[in-house]
Chains A and B, each alone.
Chain A
């Protein structure tokens, strides 16, 4: 009987214990995901290989700051988020707002929509076509929710936002997509 696949957190423990080769498994697991996330967030594939490599180096160097009692994926995505935000700032042609008023006020919690598989697939296709037309603040939560399949709490921890704000941004982003794509029937 095949051994069950080790969790990310177990692998982190092994790497910290000295089995550095195990870090390769984490690179394999997350490389494509992070590149996909970066390409869409940055609206460009330019330099994505180098940025991904920098992210993994940062992850490795900071492994001992990771609390193995928590989930690894929001932690690595948070490091990636910071790296991509810094890249956006450097490129400066996609300026990030200094302050977003939607983090100021409380919002009613928008429940995570149990989208049907077909609907999710269609939204993903729409995202691929129209994502670049969305402002960054709506683009990122949609990528993380629909393309990286993370839940609201993980997205909130990655983006350092209240969970209710994540729900509002995803909902507004979806409506924007609807308008942009002019395919309201899909949504």
Chain B
């Protein structure tokens, strides 16, 4: 058999298969359905990643993690130990999977992978920050407190009030020379001892009714304060409301 006869053979073979209806053209609706399905899955995954990431930012804001760097290395160390690594790694994995789907199913392959990854990171981060600035999660948490939202409700229920490692947030009360009582966000009282080495900013006047964040070790049911910072602005107001409304 010469090489020149092969094209005829293959042509005839394929045409015979077609005539005998062993192979057929797939209907257009199959491809349309596949495209719709891909867009649907991509939208769901994208929506979930945005929710996942913004919830991470919100939970860091909610429990005060974002204020820990104000304490310097001691705060950063506590932030490291308190950081929700599992949640963050899950978010990164989801983003990678999303990137792979995008690369395979769209024309994103025309751009260097670095651009695609940077674009995804920027969009996800900005959306996460935006969700903290706009009270989306705060509103959802409040709605959930009234009637549990399906699927995402347990996430808001699980937002702990005092989950940070050796860190305490609340309102100063019953201030004495060397101690005070801290009313935390659950309305519980904790005794805080002020030590000579307790780190307090020069311009900060400790007084009753001020919302503060404290780092320190708990010993025999009391906390020896290593550092104290006032929670001014929106977050301080939020803590104040949470203590007084007990939300």
Contact = CB atoms under 8 A, between A and B. Distances in A.
Categorize the interface residue count of chain B: 20 to 34
A145 interface: no
B25 interface: yes
Contacts of A15: 25
25 contacts: A16-B25, A20-B18, A24-B11, A24-B15, A27-B15, A28-B7, A31-B10, A31-B11, A32-B7, A35-B6, A49-B6, A49-B10, A53-B13, A60-B23, A62-B26, A63-B25, A64-B25, A64-B31, A104-B112, A105-B114, A106-B114, A160-B104, A162-B109, A162-B110, A164-B112
A169 to B, nearest CB: 13
Nearest to B31: A65
B7 A31 contact: yes
B150 interface: no
Nearest to A159: B109
Grouping DSSP codes into helix (H, G, I), strand (E, B) and loop, the B interface class, with mixed when no group exceeds half, is helix
A52 B10 contact: yes
Contacts of B27: 64
A187 interface: no
A60 B18 contact: yes
A15 B18 CA distance: 11
B97 to A, nearest CB: 15
A56 interface: yes
Given A27-B11, A31-B11, A103 B113 contact: yes
A23 interface: yes
A142 interface: no
A42 interface: no
Interface in A124-183: 156, 160-165
B19 to A, nearest CB: 7
Contact of A163 (B23, B31, B110): B110
A27 B6 contact: no
Contacts of A106: 112, 114-115
Interface string B1-35: 00000110011111101110001111110010000
A21 interface: yes
B110 A105 contact: no
Contacts of B23: 57, 60-61
Interface string B85-114: 000000000000000000110000111111
A64 B10 contact: no
A168 B187 CA distance: 65
Contacts of A60: 14, 18, 23, 25
A105 B112 contact: yes
